[in-house]
Amino acid sequence: MDILVSGAGMAGLSAAVNLGTRGHRVTIVERSTHFRVNGSPIDIRGDALGIAERMGLLERIRDRRVDMTEQSQFIDGDGNVVVRVPVEEAGDSADDLEIAREDLARILADALPADARVLFQDSVDAIADDGDGVGVGVGVGVRFVSGRAERYDLVIGADGLHSAVRRLVFGPERDFNHHLGYYAAIADMPGEEPRADRVNPIYNYPGHLAGIVRYNDTTLAIFMFRSDPIDYDHHDLDAQKDILAEAFAGHTEWRIPDLLAAARADPELYFDSASQIRMPSWHRGRVVLVGDAAHAASGLSGRGTSLAFTGTHILAEELDRSGGDHLAAFERYEERQRPYVDFAQHSVHGGADLIVPATWEAIRARNERVLASAGSRPAGA
């Protein structure tokens, strides 16, 4: 089949690899000028590890795994350590591999079949689905923002939380987006010396978090802040930088000004709401959604990429099994993927209270809880 995949994130690349290696002709359209590879390291967990193995990628992923034995420390406004987070709560395990986004994107891109087409700097603008039948002329007509017009047997929306395919085929984002009450940003901090003590400091004041994460030779500034939904253009990076600066305005404690300067300077800043996409169905006609476009669980779940892996693998497998009956395949895909999604989406409950407590009292209570837990030591102990 001729299949269009909208979005070249982890879900889009994984869909293209799974479908392309099964003999489908795949075109990927990516809005950006390049594969977007920034952001903090990502986890591959549970059944997604088995899928990476079946895709023939597990060894390469293991070779590039990030050593996450760094210890997180909650610090005060002067940078003094208040609580050390036990390493076993922060590290990975046999059931969980952590890898840099850029490495996983490269591994997936290298695994694309030679005839896969990648169209950068373009996006779907209109989708006309001719229905579920078979035969000459039946398929999906797609017009791109560039003016290009093409026909496909199937269209896969893998274009993330703010999916264009979802908007065009299923309706406006507000019908499906459940805001979890805060925003997150991640910026590169080039020029930071890697620290030998392998410690990641995290500073909280009510409703806010600013911190530093280090892995390999990379240093990242991370931010979270509680907020009601903010109306802004998701493709306007300067607007996102302004929102972030305003959220932390007037705060010069610890290294907040340095971190904000790094965010301002980063041409690839990651900024988004913590949101979940909840939909009663992920397919309509010949169009199907995968990854965050279908079922974002939010960064707090740590399972976005694992969900992208399981979903795209199941989808490709079911298309094979159904012998081209895409409706039967889409239904089986939903049935098999749904339990993974439900688990991941439910797993985030209470996470924000731990990471971004709303009051000083809640920050102190959180610190005491962590202090009381096994392996934690007060500063200097």
Ligand X SMILES: Cc1cc2nc3c(=O)[nH]c(=O)nc-3n(C[C@H](O)[C@H](O)[C@H](O)COP(=O)(O)OP(=O)(O)OC[C@H]3O[C@@H](n4cnc5c(N)ncnc54)[C@H](O)[C@@H]3O)c2cc1C
Binding flags for ligand X, 305-334, as an x/- string (CB under 6 A) = x--x--------------------------
Residue 107 contacts ligand X per CB under 6 A: no
**For ligand X, which residue of 4, 6, 20, 312 counts as binding (CB under 6 A)?**
6
| Nearer CB in complex with ligand X: 84/313 | 313
For residue 112, the Cα-to-chain-centroid distance in whole angstroms is: 20
Residue 4 contacts ligand X per CB under 6 A: no
Site for ligand X in 262-281 (CB under 6 A): 270
- For residue 15, give the nearest of 302, 344, 314 by alpha carbon: 314
- For residue 10, give the nearest of 53, 33, 46, 41 by alpha carbon: 41
Specify whether the CB–CB gap between 16 and 155 falls below 8 A.
no
Residue 292 contacts ligand X per CB under 6 A: yes
Site for ligand X in 150-169 (CB under 6 A): 158-161, 164
Binding flags for ligand X, 168-207, as an x/- string (CB under 6 A) = ------------------x---------------------
Specify the 3-state DSSP secondary structure of 302: coil
Dihedral pair phi/psi, residue 97, rounded to 5° = -110, 140
CA angle 85–241–72, rounded 5-degree value: 5
Identity of the residue numbered 363: I
Residue 10 contacts ligand X per CB under 6 A: yes
Cα distances (angstroms) measured from residue 43 to each of 208, 254, 306: 24, 29, 7
Question: For residues 22 and 111, what is the distance between their CA atoms, to the nearest angstrom?
Answer: 12
| Nearer CB in complex with ligand X: 167/322 | 167
Shortest Å distance, C-beta 270 to ligand X: 4
The residue at minimum Cβ distance from ligand X is: 9
Shortest Å distance, C-beta 10 to ligand X: 4
Question: For residues 60 and 107, what is the distance between their CA atoms, to the nearest angstrom?
Answer: 7
| Nearer CB in complex with ligand X: 8/116 | 8
Site for ligand X in 44-83 (CB under 6 A): none
Specify the 3-state DSSP secondary structure of 372: helix
Number of shown-chain residues binding ligand X (CB under 6 A): 30
**For ligand X, which residue of 18, 38, 273, 367 counts as binding (CB under 6 A)?**
38
Compute the residue count for the chain. 381
Query: Residue 70: CB partners within 8 Å, gap ≥ 6?
Result: 90, 198, 199, 200, 213, 214, 215
**For ligand X, which residue of 139, 211, 299, 357 counts as binding (CB under 6 A)?**
299
Specify whether the CB–CB gap between 44 and 306 falls below 8 A.
yes
Residue 7 contacts ligand X per CB under 6 A: yes
**Which stretches of the chain bind ligand X, using CB under 6 A?**
6-12, 29-32, 36, 38-40, 123, 158-161, 164, 186, 270, 291-293, 299, 304-305, 308
